[in-house]
Amino acid sequence: MTDQLFADHVLIARVGAAYGIKGWVKLISFSSPKTNILEYRCYWTPQAGSLVKLEVDQCKAQGKGFVAHIKGCDDKNQTQEFTGKDLYIEKSLLPELDDDEYYWHQLPGLRVKTLSGDDLGVIDHLLETGANDVLVVKADKHSVDEEERLIPYLPERVIDSIDLNQGLIRVNWEKEY
């Protein structure tokens, strides 16, 4: 899939296994808080090099997770074609954030520099560890070395500033850490 295909979409969930016999599926939420998944009914899923619309007509919390009924899918056997599918929503549907808040999907690709000016590389992805989120920073040809770094996402302690327009994060972190 091309990045252009997903330029206006963000991954928010994945379809899990069938739930019951009437076309319901488990829904794995990537939103934060997880219950935000209950707000969406129209998703897009990759299929044959494009995004295909997938509508959910019912969605609810079930135990520690969520279950959903896919519109037009009324049989457990029909749910098999959806199992494991990633679900995207249009970025325009996400709530606006305050100036000092960011969505995870905005951070990969940003260059990371220390307060002293050392270039540590580019954010590849983020990890959710429980204690705090972690930036996975991959070295590139502009980096001070070839090290991959795990930098805690701790605003005001480690994260000094984020400038989406410049594609830059400044961190209170040293290359030796």
Residue 121 to residues 110, 117, 132, 141, 158: CA-CA distances in angstroms? 9, 12, 21, 8, 16
56-110 residue pLDDT tens: 999 999 998 999 999 999 988 888 889 999 999 999 999 888 888 899 889 999 9
Among 108, 153, 151, 142, which residue's Cα sits nearest to residue 6? 108
CA-CA distance, 138 to 47, in Å (whole number)? 30
- Residue-range domain boundaries for the chain: 3-93, 104-171
Any idea which fold 104-171 has?
A: SH3 type barrels. (2.30.30)
Centre a 10 Å sphere on the Cβ of residue 41 and count the other Cβ atoms it contains. Answer: 14
Characterize 91-104 residue by residue with b for buried, 16 or more Cβ atoms within 10 angstroms of its Cβ, and e for exposed: eeeeeeeeeeebeb
Same-fold call for 3-93 versus 104-171 = no
3-93 has CATH 2.40.30.60 classification: yes
User: At residue 50, does pLDDT exceed 90?
Assistant: no
